[in-house]
Amino acid sequence: MIEDKNQNKTDLAALGEFGLIDHLTKNFTIKQTSTIKGIGDDAAVLEFNKGQIVVTTDMLVEGVHFDLSYMPLKHLGYKAIVVNLSDVYAMNAQATQVTVSIAVSNRFPLEALEELYAGIETAASLYNIDVVGGDTTSSTTGLIISVTAIGTVDSENAVYRSGAKPNDLLVVSGDLGAAYMGLQVLEREKEVFKVNPNNQPDLDGYTYIIERQLKPEARKDIIELLKDLEVKPTSMIDISDGLSSEIMHLCKHSNIGCDLYEDKIPLDPQVISTCEEFNIDSTTVALNGGEDYELLFTVSQEDFPNIKANPNFTVIGFMKDEASGMHLITRAETSIPLKAQGWNALNN
């Protein structure tokens, strides 16, 4: 008798589209009072009593944004939500709802999608948001996840990319470059695995950077902290494509220049040691690596006392007039123009 190795795998077509959505979302609970009607009608119905609504959307494509050979599906579901929430927080808003659309090929059994949705639910639970809609369809090849996130902000509190002024301080949360270096380690282990599938990777020295790649967090805590500190940034953006590219967005939208100090860029020791191991310049990684999902913002100088002693923040430069341009001041105190060499999904 031939053993059925797929005995625990359920074919997606067996459930049908509606059965699948019902099955995957049956454990989702409504947490936000603004959610009047979630999944289950032509559209979700939301009611916000005041303020403004923010809306953002991001699409993750297999083979472009993720590699399932080292990205567990549960982590992928989690990350797909987090990267969208990060954009909501970058508006100084609170995230409230998401919709999730997925296209999957038949090679994914139901159990794989259950893992994906378990990650989505974990993120929804942790960030206190509701999954209020979505679409489930088939793809001819890989997996595609499209998430739209909705949030709310008092009209006077929304922070745009465009509000920075000369002399404002440039501040970043957390540390940079870890997600990129985590990816380098995972890619290396994948190549090792291809040569010798019996080799067990030893990832003990890379736990932080791998977690930053596989399970990034959106800085909801920073938005709350800024509120507690009574600091309203003059401009803000999240770091998805690399520090350099994001600084240039702030400068371009605000019509100003900037000096960024290389020696101020916050790096985790694991990033520094892994950069040495891979013989990569850590500043280049921080500038262009991307996927940090930290918040980059500007504050007026009078707010400096409120943030200076806080370990969550690092002042990495200051804004100048537009004619001064955008520069990196190196450790050797030379000034070189900033370039955006960040991750570009269209070149991959």
The interface mask with its own copies, positions 162-181, x = CB under 8 A, is: x-------------------
Out of 23, 28, 30, 59, the only residue in the binding site for its own copies (CB under 8 A) is: 59
Please list the residues that pair with 169 across neighbouring strands. 299, 318
Return the number of the residue (133 or 216) whose C-beta is nearest its own copies.
133
Q: Applying CB under 8 A, does 91 fall inside the site for its own copies?
A: yes
Q: Is 43 exposed, middle or buried (0-12, 13-18, 19+ CB in 10 A)?
A: exposed
Q: Applying CB under 8 A, does 237 fall inside the site for its own copies?
A: yes
Q: Applying CB under 8 A, does 196 fall inside the site for its own copies?
A: no
Return the number of the residue (21 or 209) whose C-beta is nearest its own copies.
21
Q: Applying CB under 8 A, does 220 fall inside the site for its own copies?
A: no
Q: Applying CB under 8 A, does 298 fall inside the site for its own copies?
A: no
Q: Applying CB under 8 A, does 13 fall inside the site for its own copies?
A: yes
Three-state DSSP state, 296: strand
What are the DSSP calls for 320-346, one per residue?
EEGGG-EEEE-TTS-EEE-------TT
Residue length of the chain:
348
CA distance 239 to 245: 8
Return the number of the residue (50 or 331) whose C-beta is nearest its own copies.
50
Out of 73, 76, 93, 243, the only residue in the binding site for its own copies (CB under 8 A) is: 93
Binding residues for ATP: 117, 134-135, 161, 240
Q: What phi and psi, each to the nearest 5 degrees, are found at residue 160?
A: -100, 175
Stretch that binds its own copies, among 49-57, 70-78, 176-184, 318-326 (CB under 8 A): 49-57
Three-state DSSP state, 57: strand
CA distance 10 to 190: 28
